[in-house]
Protein backbone atom coordinates (compact mmCIF):
# COMPACT_ATOMS: atom_id res chain seq x y z
CA UNK A 1 0.00 0.00 0.00
CA UNK A 2 1.27 3.45 -0.80
CA UNK A 3 -0.04 6.67 0.74
CA UNK A 4 -1.69 7.67 -2.55
CA UNK A 5 -3.99 4.66 -2.20
CA UNK A 6 -4.91 5.35 1.42
CA UNK A 7 -7.85 7.73 0.70
CA UNK A 8 -9.44 5.17 -1.63
CA UNK A 9 -8.90 2.38 0.87
CA UNK A 10 -10.45 4.48 3.65
CA UNK A 11 -13.52 5.20 1.50
CA UNK A 12 -13.95 1.55 0.57
CA UNK A 13 -13.64 0.34 4.15
CA UNK A 14 -15.62 3.10 5.88
CA UNK A 15 -18.62 0.87 6.37
CA UNK A 16 -20.30 1.50 9.72
CA UNK A 17 -21.34 -2.16 9.97
CA UNK A 18 -17.73 -3.37 10.18
CA UNK A 19 -16.23 -2.06 13.44
CA UNK A 20 -13.19 -4.31 13.10
CA UNK A 21 -12.05 -2.17 10.18
CA UNK A 22 -10.37 0.45 12.37
CA UNK A 23 -7.99 -2.08 13.93
CA UNK A 24 -7.17 -3.57 10.53
CA UNK A 25 -6.57 -0.13 9.03
CA UNK A 26 -4.45 0.91 12.01
CA UNK A 27 -2.33 -2.24 11.53
CA UNK A 28 -1.85 -1.46 7.83
CA UNK A 29 -1.04 2.19 8.46
CA UNK A 30 1.39 1.26 11.23
CA UNK A 31 3.11 -1.26 8.99
CA UNK A 32 3.38 1.24 6.16
CA UNK A 33 4.50 4.07 8.41
CA UNK A 34 2.27 6.18 10.63
CA UNK A 35 4.20 9.39 9.97
CA UNK A 36 3.84 8.94 6.21
CA UNK A 37 0.06 8.65 6.54
CA UNK A 38 -0.63 11.51 8.97
CA UNK A 39 -1.23 14.09 6.23
CA UNK A 40 -3.73 11.81 4.46
CA UNK A 41 -5.59 11.11 7.71
CA UNK A 42 -5.74 14.84 8.47
CA UNK A 43 -7.06 15.57 4.99
CA UNK A 44 -9.79 12.96 5.41
CA UNK A 45 -10.82 14.48 8.75
CA UNK A 46 -11.15 17.84 7.01
CA UNK A 47 -12.88 16.85 3.78
CA UNK A 48 -13.88 13.19 3.94
CA UNK A 49 -17.36 11.76 3.94
CA UNK A 50 -18.92 11.26 7.40
CA UNK A 51 -18.23 7.50 7.43
CA UNK A 52 -14.58 8.14 6.52
CA UNK A 53 -14.23 10.79 9.24
CA UNK A 54 -15.58 8.33 11.81
CA UNK A 55 -13.23 5.60 10.57
CA UNK A 56 -10.25 7.96 10.83
CA UNK A 57 -11.22 8.86 14.41
CA UNK A 58 -11.45 5.14 15.19
CA UNK A 59 -7.98 4.66 13.73
CA UNK A 60 -6.74 7.52 15.90
CA UNK A 61 -8.27 5.79 18.92
CA UNK A 62 -6.31 2.63 18.04
CA UNK A 63 -3.11 4.69 17.84
CA UNK A 64 -3.94 6.33 21.18
CA UNK A 65 -4.60 3.00 22.89
CA UNK A 66 -1.55 1.26 21.50
CA UNK A 67 1.09 4.00 21.46
CA UNK A 68 -0.17 6.88 23.59
CA UNK A 69 -1.80 10.29 23.31
CA UNK A 70 1.29 12.13 22.10
CA UNK A 71 1.04 10.28 18.77
CA UNK A 72 -2.36 11.83 18.00
CA UNK A 73 -1.97 15.33 19.48
CA UNK A 74 -1.53 16.83 16.01
CA UNK A 75 -5.10 15.78 15.25
CA UNK A 76 -6.71 17.56 18.21
CA UNK A 77 -7.50 20.85 16.38
CA UNK A 78 -9.23 18.89 13.61
CA UNK A 79 -11.19 16.80 16.10
CA UNK A 80 -12.26 19.97 17.92
CA UNK A 81 -13.62 21.34 14.64
CA UNK A 82 -15.59 18.11 14.15
CA UNK A 83 -17.56 18.87 17.32
CA UNK A 84 -19.44 21.30 15.02
CA UNK A 85 -19.80 18.91 12.07
CA UNK A 86 -23.20 18.75 10.37
CA UNK A 87 -23.34 14.96 10.76
CA UNK A 88 -24.52 13.91 14.22
CA UNK A 89 -22.55 10.63 14.18
CA UNK A 90 -19.36 12.53 13.37
CA UNK A 91 -20.11 14.89 16.28
CA UNK A 92 -20.66 11.87 18.56
CA UNK A 93 -17.34 10.34 17.48
CA UNK A 94 -15.61 13.69 18.06
CA UNK A 95 -17.09 13.93 21.56
CA UNK A 96 -15.81 10.46 22.35
CA UNK A 97 -12.41 11.34 20.88
CA UNK A 98 -11.92 14.48 22.98
CA UNK A 99 -13.02 12.48 26.02
CA UNK A 100 -10.46 9.75 25.29
CA UNK A 101 -7.77 12.35 24.61
CA UNK A 102 -8.59 14.25 27.81
CA UNK A 103 -8.70 17.39 25.69
CA UNK A 104 -9.44 20.32 28.00
CA UNK A 105 -9.57 22.63 24.97
CA UNK A 106 -12.93 21.01 24.17
CA UNK A 107 -14.64 22.12 27.40
CA UNK A 108 -16.33 25.26 25.95
CA UNK A 109 -17.63 23.33 22.95
CA UNK A 110 -18.82 20.45 25.11
CA UNK A 111 -20.75 22.90 27.30
CA UNK A 112 -22.40 24.32 24.19
CA UNK A 113 -23.34 20.81 23.01
CA UNK A 114 -24.89 20.04 26.40
CA UNK A 115 -27.04 23.16 26.13
CA UNK A 116 -27.91 23.16 22.44
CA UNK A 117 -27.53 19.76 20.76
CA UNK A 118 -29.71 16.66 20.55
CA UNK A 119 -30.26 14.76 23.78
CA UNK A 120 -27.97 11.74 23.01
CA UNK A 121 -25.14 14.06 22.00
CA UNK A 122 -25.77 16.29 25.02
CA UNK A 123 -25.61 13.24 27.30
CA UNK A 124 -22.32 12.08 25.78
CA UNK A 125 -20.91 15.61 26.03
CA UNK A 126 -21.98 15.79 29.68
CA UNK A 127 -20.11 12.56 30.43
CA UNK A 128 -17.02 13.95 28.73
CA UNK A 129 -17.35 17.20 30.68
CA UNK A 130 -17.59 15.36 33.99
CA UNK A 131 -14.29 13.63 33.19
CA UNK A 132 -12.56 16.78 31.95
CA UNK A 133 -13.91 19.34 34.41
CA UNK A 134 -13.71 17.93 37.93
CA UNK A 135 -15.64 20.82 39.45
CA UNK A 136 -18.62 20.23 37.20
CA UNK A 137 -19.55 16.99 38.93
CA UNK A 138 -19.71 18.81 42.27
CA UNK A 139 -21.98 21.48 40.79
CA UNK A 140 -24.25 18.85 39.23
CA UNK A 141 -24.48 16.90 42.47
CA UNK A 142 -25.40 20.04 44.40
CA UNK A 143 -28.05 20.94 41.83
CA UNK A 144 -29.63 17.49 41.83
CA UNK A 145 -29.57 17.29 45.62
CA UNK A 146 -31.17 20.73 45.89
CA UNK A 147 -33.97 19.64 43.57
CA UNK A 148 -34.65 16.48 45.56
CA UNK A 149 -34.83 18.48 48.80
CA UNK A 150 -37.76 20.50 47.47
Owning domain of residue 109: 3-148
Rounded mean pLDDT, 129-142: 86
pLDDT of residue 47: 93
Q: Model pTM?
A: 0.84
**Average pLDDT value for the chain:** 89
**Which percentage of the chain shows pLDDT scores above 70?**
94
Do 122 and 88 contact (CB within 8 A), yes or no? no
Is the Cβ–Cβ distance between 53 and 45 less than 8 Å?
A: yes
Furthest-apart CA atoms within the chain: distance in Å: 64
Q: How many domains does the chain have?
A: 1
What is the CATH classification number for the domain harbouring 55?
1.25.10.10
Amino acid sequence: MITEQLPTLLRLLANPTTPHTSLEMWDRISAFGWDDCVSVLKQELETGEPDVKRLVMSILWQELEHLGAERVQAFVPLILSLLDDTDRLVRMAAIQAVRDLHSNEAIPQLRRIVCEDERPLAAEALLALMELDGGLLDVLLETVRARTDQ
